[in-house]
């Protein structure tokens, strides 16, 4: 779904990795209309792109950014804080690529402590699934989020963005880049936002900044250091609502939930790293990256409504989490040999990649506030509490492998890959001996494309992976504990039809198999069986005479097989996945309308399972958005003024996540923004 900059916040199904699932803070923007809200992209963007060749491509400035016109398909594109498409960093084919560990920064393996990245450091995100994943040397079953760093090219530029929206939302961004020396260019950015999502917190602020350097000491060498920081807080945080999975949850509006004055979240995030691109010879090149991200969450107070019933009654709990820290260092070294003989090319890549992660979790104090209702006034006085010692998770992973591809222009391609993974995770709980999980599987992949004609391409792939799962929910006895990484498998196939004239149609089928985690009869979050997602996905893009269409749909058929009983769960349809999602996006900027342009969005989400026995389904939801923009040159400066509205009809609806959290559709809202490039 195209969103104005900055985009409105996204689903809060994503929880901070530093503690048990709770109210998530800003997450990377996502185009998925299935979310009950949208990402807090005002704060945070997403590192994006694929491995580039230097010199770096010129970046679009803030006034030029348009997710609809830049999208190659309908599977997920984000530029700046606008997004469009079916999938996103935290939802692809019903799974979570970012949580699974499938981020790529400039094509290299990248891991992070938090589910969001500083907007000042990033520019674009592309979801690589289906035929788009054929360009990824080491693809992953849950899909790859291909992230591109904001790399300066030495041309002096300054951009400024300001916005004002519903519920007192205010934002301001200032960004500049220039050449510092003959071979060194730099980019700097600062971004301030206030009250960026009223449905999640009545009062919120975030200040972020970052910088990227591009050093090109020789034609064959590029070195890219970057660093950024985000500092923010929420006050009067809106309560989190959970269902017990037995009775369907009632409809409710987040902005009507009473927030206690003492509920608060504070966060400080830093991220940095360095990339190296080096041409060694006409056929050999080296790409390497080393990255680190850190998160510190201050003492947190969150309200929770547990086991909500159809009459809106629930058990009211206050969750107080101690200050927690987490850190992850990740990176990859890749050596590539590419040869070209006329229409035939070969690519051989050797990769060594890994991560070293440390995180604290747990220690929460849970204060029972007794029975209540969703719209009841919040207690005015903070009750007595005492947090406890925290647990620690230490994870080490090292992968080594190769990928080989043969490609014939106009005919097709075939590729094989093999990775050996060494994985070790150690859990240290207070008063207990450390528990360690280790595994070292071989992971293979095979993929192909075949050009049936100049217009029709057939593709297919089979992939194996070792991927992380969602953390234990707040209702678990081992709340916040990460499950061990498990084997995953994916098979997909499809076709792309791209005749002349700007039309591209994609139709594909897929099957993904993973382990299924949830609560057992002791409320322990553990592996209960297996989960299979089968589906059909489609994309249609068309551009002609200033009109750009991006539309698509995904029909998903999830199925769970339980080998260990899950209380009350007798259905084979798991909570969380949405069976059908449709998206339609039209950008109209013909010459006859200039300097004005229009944008129309419509999204349809079918109702998923409302209860674990599958007796009840959620109601479908349709949302409509409309945007008007003015694009012109003032005194030689590019200026864009946007007025965007989302959920114009104020449609209501719910989503239930795989860990029983209930998410309400964000209410109607507006945003007026101005971007100026010099």
Domain count, the chain: 1
First to last CA, the chain: 29
Considering the entire predicted model, what is its pTM? 0.87
pLDDT at 476: 85
User: What are the phi and psi torsion angles at 378 (to 5°)?
Assistant: -75, 145
**For the purposes of burial, counting CB atoms within 10 Å of the CB of 384, is it exposed (0-12), middle (13-18) or buried (19 or more)?**
exposed
Q: Which domain holds residue 88?
A: 44-677
- With a CB cutoff of 8 Å and minimum separation 6, the contacts of 423 are 395, 396, 397, 437, 438, 439, 440, 466, 484, 485
Whether 26 is in a domain gets the answer no
User: What are the phi and psi torsion angles at 555 (to 5°)?
Assistant: -105, 120
Secondary-structure breakdown of the chain: helix, strand, coil percentages, each rounded to the nearest 5:
5, 55, 40
pLDDT at 478: 87
Closest CA to 123 of 63, 65, 208, 206: 65
Whether 28 is in a domain gets the answer no
How does pLDDT run across 424-469, given as a tens digit for each residue?
999 999 989 999 999 999 999 999 999 998 899 999 999 999 999 8
C-alpha distances (whole Å) from 364 to each of 18, 25, 348, 661 are 12, 18, 49, 18
> Hey, CA dihedral for 647, 648, 650, 651, is it positive or negative?
negative
- With a CB cutoff of 8 Å and minimum separation 6, the contacts of 424 are 395, 396, 397, 436, 437, 438
User: How long a stretch of residues is the chain?
Assistant: 678
Closest CA to 668 of 198, 51, 107, 164: 198
pLDDT at 38: 28
Whether 7 is in a domain gets the answer no
Closest CA to 106 of 249, 252, 280, 289: 289
Q: Which parts of the chain register pLDDT below 50?
A: 1-59
Whether 316 is in a domain gets the answer yes
Q: What is the DSSP string of 233-276?
A: EEEEEPPEEE--SSSPPPP--GGGS---TT-EEEEEEEEEEEEE
Six token digits for residue 501: 């004239």
CATH for 582: 2.40.170.20
pLDDT at 58: 41
User: What are the phi and psi torsion angles at 165 (to 5°)?
Assistant: -145, -170
User: What are the phi and psi torsion angles at 100 (to 5°)?
Assistant: -70, -15
Indicate the DSSP class of residue 609: B
Using omega within 30 degrees of 0 as the cis cutoff, is the peptide bond preceding 595 cis? yes
The Cα–Cα gap between 15 and 7 comes to 19
> Hey, CA dihedral for 518, 519, 524, 529, is it positive or negative?
negative
Closest CA to 22 of 478, 518, 471, 373: 471
Q: Are 247 and 217 in contact (CB under 8 A)?
A: no
The Cα–Cα gap between 101 and 468 comes to 7
Whether 239 is in a domain gets the answer yes
pLDDT at 60: 53
Around 523, how many Cα atoms within 13 Å sit in the side-chain half-sphere? 10
Q: Kindly report the CA angle at 383 between 200 and 432, in degrees rounded to 5? A: 90
Whether 404 is in a domain gets the answer yes
pLDDT at 35: 32
The Cα–Cα gap between 548 and 540 comes to 11
The Cα–Cα gap between 294 and 489 comes to 31
Whether 360 is in a domain gets the answer yes
Q: Are 448 and 413 in contact (CB under 8 A)?
A: yes
Closest CA to 41 of 128, 142, 178, 165: 165
Whether 416 is in a domain gets the answer yes
């Amino acid at each position: 779904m195209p969103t104005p900059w900055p985009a409105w916040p996204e689903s809060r199904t994503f929880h901070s990795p530093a503690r048990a699932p709770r109210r998530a803070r800003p997450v990377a923007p996502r185009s998925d209309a299935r979310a009950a809200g949208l990402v807090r992209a005002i704060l945070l963007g997403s590192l994006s792109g694929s491995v580039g060749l230097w010199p770096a491509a010129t970046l679009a400035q803030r006034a030029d950014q348009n997710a609809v016109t830049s999208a190659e398909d309908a599977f997920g594109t984000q530029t700046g804080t606008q997004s469009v498409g079916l999938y996103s960093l935290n939802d692809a084919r019903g799974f979570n690529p970012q949580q699974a560990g499938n981020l790529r920064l400039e094509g290299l393996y990248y891991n992070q402590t938090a589910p969001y990245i500083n907007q000042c450091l990033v520019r674009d995100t592309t979801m690589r699934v289906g035929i788009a994943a054929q360009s990824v040397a080491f693809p992953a079953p849950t899909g790859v989020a291909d992230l591109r760093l904001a790399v300066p090219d030495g041309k002096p530029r300054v951009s400024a963005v300001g916005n004002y929206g519903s519920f007192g939302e205010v934002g301001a961004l200032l960004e500049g880049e220039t050449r510092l020396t003959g071979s060194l260019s730099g980019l700097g950015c600062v971004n301030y936002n206030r009250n960026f999502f009223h449905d999640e917190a009545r009062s919120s602020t975030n200040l972020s900044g970052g910088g990227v350097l591009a050093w090109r000491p020789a034609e064959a060498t590029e070195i890219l250091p970057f660093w950024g920081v985000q500092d923010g807080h929420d006050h009067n945080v809106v309560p989190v609502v959970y269902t017990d999975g037995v009775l369907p949850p009632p409809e409710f509006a987040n902005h009507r939930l009473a927030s206690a004055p003492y509920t608060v979240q504070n966060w400080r995030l830093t991220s940095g790293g360095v990339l190296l691109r080096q041409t060694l010879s006409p056929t050999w090149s080296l790409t390497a990256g080393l990255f680190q991200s850190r998160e510190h969450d201050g003492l947190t107070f969150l309200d929770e409504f547990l086991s909500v019933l159809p009459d809106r009654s629930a058990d009211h709990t206050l969750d107080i989490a101690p200050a927690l820290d987490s850190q992850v260092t990740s990176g990859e070294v890749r050596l590539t040999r590419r040869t070209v003989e006329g229409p035939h090319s070969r690519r051989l890549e050797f990769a060594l990649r890994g991560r070293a992660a440390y995180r604290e979790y747990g220690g929460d104090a849970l204060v029972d506030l007794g029975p209540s209702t969703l719209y009841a006034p919040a207690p005015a006085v903070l009750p007595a509490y005492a947090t406890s010692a925290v647990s620690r998770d230490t994870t080490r992973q090292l992968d080594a492998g190769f990928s080989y591809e043969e490609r014939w222009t106009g005919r097709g391609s075939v590729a094989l890959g093999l990775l050996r993974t060494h994985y070790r995770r150690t859990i240290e709980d207070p008063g207990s001996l450390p528990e360690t999980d280790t595994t070292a599987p071989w992971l293979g992949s095979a993929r192909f494309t075949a050009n049936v004609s100049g217009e029709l391409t057939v593709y297919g792939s089979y992939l194996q992976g070792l991927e992380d799962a969602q953390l234990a929910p707040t209702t678990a006895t081992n709340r916040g504990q990460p499950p061990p990484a498990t084997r995953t498998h994916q098979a997909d196939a499809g076709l792309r039809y791209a005749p002349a004239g700007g039309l591209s149609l994609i139709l594909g089928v897929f099957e993904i198999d993973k382990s299924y985690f949830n609560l057992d009869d002791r409320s322990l979050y553990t592996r209960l069986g297996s989960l299979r997602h089968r589906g059909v996905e489609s994309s249609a893009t068309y551009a002609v005479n200033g009109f750009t269409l991006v539309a698509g749909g995904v029909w998903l058929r999830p199925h769970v097989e339980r080998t260990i009983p899950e209380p009350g769960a007798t259905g084979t349809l798991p909570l969380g996945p949405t069976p059908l999602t449709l998206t339609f996006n039209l950008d109209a900027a013909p010459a006859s309308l200039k300097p004005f342009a229009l944008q129309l969005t419509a999204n349809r989400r079918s109702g998923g399972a409302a209860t674990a026995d599958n007796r009840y389904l959620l109601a479908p939801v349709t949302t409509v958005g409309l945007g008007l923009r003015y694009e012109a040159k003032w005194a030689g400066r590019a200026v864009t003024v946007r007025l965007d509205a989302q959920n114009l009809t104020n449609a209501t609806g719910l989503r239930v996540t795989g860990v029983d959290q209930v998410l309400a559709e964000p209410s109607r809202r507006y945003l007026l923004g101005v971007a100026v490039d010099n």
